[in-house]
Amino acid sequence: MKTDFTILKLLGKGGFSSVYLVQDRAGAKYACKVSTQQNLLETEAFYMQRLKHPLFPRFFDAWQEDGEGFLLMEYIPGENLTQYTNPSFQTVPSLSGTPDRQQKSLSISQIISIGSRLADGLAIIQDFDPALVYRDVKPANCILMPDGRVRLLDLGLICPAGENPCVAGTPGFAAPEQLIVSDTNETANLLTPAADIYGLGRTLRALLPSTRFCSKLLNLCLFSPFSPTAQFMRLLELCTEDSPQNRLQDMRTLRDLLVTLEQSVSPQRNLSGTQRAIIRGTIRQQKSVVRT
């Protein structure tokens, strides 16, 4: 590493990279990702410089040294959202097992707020030509900052929509089409932004406190179908359909629906007639597209 920086501690380690908290001579702190997979870091640096949205970390520098790649970026303090995931949420367990930790929880209003902010940032990657797919939306890549803002890390798996360069993503959060390579139909698993909608829906679903709590929410959907919470559960179902054609297709639409719910859920009250019509109309339109 450049002699201008001092390593303070290891922030995290994955299969192909490690991230360190570093400090320069002036005392400023940064996150520095180090990897022997230099092509992945080059891709991440390329997109980090172009994604001008507060959801994503700011880019500062990138270089290569002694066969390793280095990516210097904004250090984002806070808690990883895995601290808030329901332990019984069905994902593939890590090889190292599940660490002992005190279970934390978020309110429905907080979960919806997190969702709207993630969707707002993910929506801008659809503006690229071609549109981009993030491919790795999951709690482990989300940081909840002390001021309540949520940030999204790790841009290494971004690829253009209409491609599927390799099996990538985390089972339990990655869309089914990300994890299958078809030998018989080359276009069957080409990715669209709907893959990120699936990942976001699964992430928000994982933040719900418990299976028992989810059962109560389903009962609420039956007996109070116009409540914001019931509408939120229906929206998550639409986001996490196995078939990409059956999901919401546009991240901005999802963001707008979550913002509408966010405005209504705290304090808890029924949606207005206009708000109900917006959400019902979107879901009805989506189901109509699927049938045709």
pLDDT at 215 over 60: no
Confidence tier at 77 by pLDDT (50, 70, 90)? very high
Confidence tier at 99 by pLDDT (50, 70, 90)? very low
Q: Provide the token pair at 1.
A: 């590493």
Q: SS3 of 151, please? A: strand
Q: What is the pLDDT of residue 63?
A: 93
Q: What is the pLDDT of residue 103?
A: 63
Q: Are 35 and 19 in contact (CB under 8 A)?
A: no
| Nearest Cα residue to 114 out of 55, 60, 51, 168 | 55
Q: Are 132 and 47 in contact (CB under 8 A)?
A: yes
Mean pLDDT of the chain: 82
Confidence tier at 101 by pLDDT (50, 70, 90)? very low
Asked whether the whole model's pTM tops 0.85, one would answer: no
Confidence tier at 134 by pLDDT (50, 70, 90)? very high
Q: Which residue has the higher pLDDT, 100 or 277?
A: 277
| Nearest Cα residue to 134 out of 248, 30, 51 | 51
pLDDT at 181 over 90: no
